[in-house]
């Protein structure tokens, strides 16, 4: 799969909509929800190489791998 086939509005882990503010609106009034999140290395390793820096992880997948406190 090449990078042009990775839909930016789809979570690269589960394949569902990721609710990325940058995809919903080209000029979001507030930053995307993910900018206030911390993603674990374990979670980031689940993202296929072709989707890295191209498609956002959804809240559900992010919640399955919360950072340790």
Quick: pLDDT tens for 18-50: 888 877 766 656 678 888 888 999 999 999 998
Whether 28 is covered by a domain: the verdict is yes
Number of residues in the chain: 69
Residue 32: C-alpha distances to residues 17, 18, 23, 29, 54 (Å): 14, 11, 9, 9, 14
Distance CA 19, CA 1 (A): 23
The reply to whether 33 falls in a domain is: yes
Q: Determine, yes or no, domain membership for 29.
A: yes
Overall domain count for the chain: 1
Residue 69 within a domain: no
For residue 49, the enclosing domain spans: 3-63
* Model confidence band, residue 8 (pLDDT cutoffs 50, 70, 90): confident
Check whether 2 has a pLDDT greater than 90.
no
pLDDT given for residue 1 in this prediction:
46
CA–CA dist 52, 48 (Å, integer): 7
């Amino acid at each position: 799969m090449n990078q042009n086939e990775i839909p930016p509005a789809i979570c690269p882990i589960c394949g569902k909509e990721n609710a990325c503010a940058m995809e919903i609106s080209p000029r979001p009034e507030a930053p995307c929800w993910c900018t206030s999140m911390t993603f674990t290395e374990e979670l980031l390793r689940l993202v296929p190489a072709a989707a890295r820096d191209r498609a956002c992880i959804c809240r559900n997948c992010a919640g399955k791998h919360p950072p340790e406190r």
